[in-house]
Each structure stands twice: as C-alpha cells, then as structure tokens.
Amino acid sequence: MTNRNTPELPWNYQALLTEYQVCQQHNNSRGSQYWITVGIFLGINTAFLVAVANVMSKAPVPEYSKWFVFGIGVAIVLIIICLFRWLNRVNWYIRIDHARMREIEETLGMLKNRTIHWVDHPNQAPNEQRQRIENLRQQYPPPLRGSTVVPPIFGILGFLWLFFIILAFIN
C-alpha cells in the first residue's frame, strides 16, 4: 500500500542511496583534508615568518640572511600558489558531489539540500514550497555571503613574503 504523498521509488533506489552516502563521505573527507592542510601550512608559515622577522631585525642584515629570506620566501610563495590551486580543485570536486547529490534527491523526492538551497535562493523555490521556505528564512536567516577566509589569507601571506624578500635586499 502506497501513501499518495510518497513518490514511487525507482527500482534502483538502494543503489542511489548508497551513492548518496558515498558522496557525503567523500565530501566529509575532502573537507577534513582541506582544513587540516590549511592549518598545517599556516602553522609552518607562521614559524617561518617569525624566524625571518627575527633575522631581519638584526642590523645590518648579513648577506647569507638575505639569501635565506629569499629562498624561504620564494618557496613559500610557490607553495601558496600550488596550495591555492589544489584547494580550488578540492572545492570543484565537492561542487560536483553536491550536484550529484541534488540529482539523487530529486529522483528520490528528498528535500534536505534543496531546502537549504531554496532558503538561500528563495526565488528558485517552486511555488508550492515558497511559503514554507519563507517561514524557514524568517526563523533561520541565511548567513552573509562571501565569508570565505582562506583566499584572502593566502593573498596576505604572499604579500608578506614578497615584502620580506624585497626588504632583505634593500637593507
């Protein structure tokens, strides 16, 4: 007996649910990799910045210190570029998984991720869902957009290292 409010499940619904779980696991794993990598890099980078600031604080700066700062600075800037590209790739994988999860939700009649999307973009919600979405928006206002932190931090670190490299050769 089927409830008239329950959509008919496709013959491969169990495979779709398994694929959905795999997408969730991959996203969780990638998210952990992302933040662990950023945390380790920021810790190492901070240690090098302190070491370089210490070397640069001695007047006059010895010649070998200038090349030390140059070598570490160039290496860190290259690592920032590579890390930024890798993090963009991880975000790309996550977006693909989310798109596939939305397809599976659509097929199975699940509303979790679509509801979150509609609360953030209410004009894309179907007419029959708009009142429910508006109630959710009032109860749980969406956060401000553009709150991603990592790219600006990488930009600041890159400029700091370039500043130290230039400062080493000016002194």
pLDDT in tens, 33-62: 988 998 899 899 888 888 888 877 777 777
Is position 4 within any domain? no
Q: What is the pLDDT of residue 146?
A: 54
* Residue 166 DSSP SS3: helix
Whole-model pTM over 0.85 = no
Is position 62 within any domain? yes
Separation of first and last alpha carbons in the chain = 83
Q: What is the pLDDT of residue 144?
A: 65
Using alpha carbons only, what angle is made at residue 144 by residues 156 and 149, rounded to the nearest 5 degrees?
20
Q: Number of structural domains, the chain?
A: 1
Q: Which of these ranges, 54-63, 105-114, 117-126, has the smallest mean pLDDT?
A: 54-63
Is position 8 within any domain? no
* Confidence check: pLDDT of 81 > 80: yes
| Helix residue ranges, H only, 11-149 | 13-56, 63-108, 112-120, 130-139
More confident residue, 55 or 74: 74
* Confidence check: pLDDT of 2 > 50: no
Q: What is the pLDDT of residue 30?
A: 92
Range of the domain at 43: 13-138+148-170
Confidence of residue 1 (pLDDT cuts 50, 70, 90): very low
Is position 1 within any domain? no
